[in-house]
């Protein structure tokens, strides 16, 4: 358990905003709008998905792949959004 905690702290430090902080940020936004994370890949949620992706691209050091994993969407969806 100690190793996992140290590793997650290192990852958070290395990636700036960090995966953990990105998840918290996304959760706040989705909760405020009444949207579930699993819905982001569906039609009709393009605006909120785009807004979150642009924000993460600009304000974090997460890679395209990491953003896709955190949002539980296809990597291509993240790549197509222009920041």
Report DSSP state, residue 81: S
What is the torsional sign of CA 62, 64, 65, 68? positive
Tens digits of residue pLDDT in 53-72: 999 998 888 899 999 999 99
Tens digits of residue pLDDT in 12-43: 554 455 788 888 889 999 999 999 999 989 99
List of residues 6+ apart from 52 with CB closer than 8 A: 26, 29, 40, 71
Q: Phi/psi at 56 (nearest 5 deg)?
A: -70, -35
């Amino acid at each position: 358990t100690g190793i996992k905690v140290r590793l997650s702290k290192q990852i958070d430090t290395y990636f700036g905003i960090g995966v953990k902080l990105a998840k918290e940020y996304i959760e706040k936004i989705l909760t405020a709008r009444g949207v579930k994370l699993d819905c982001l890949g569906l039609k009709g949620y393009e605006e909120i998905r785009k807004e979150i992706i642009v924000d993460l691209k600009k304000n974090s050091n997460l890679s395209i792949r990491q953003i896709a994993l955190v949002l539980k969407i296809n990597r291509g969806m993240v790549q197509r959004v222009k920041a």
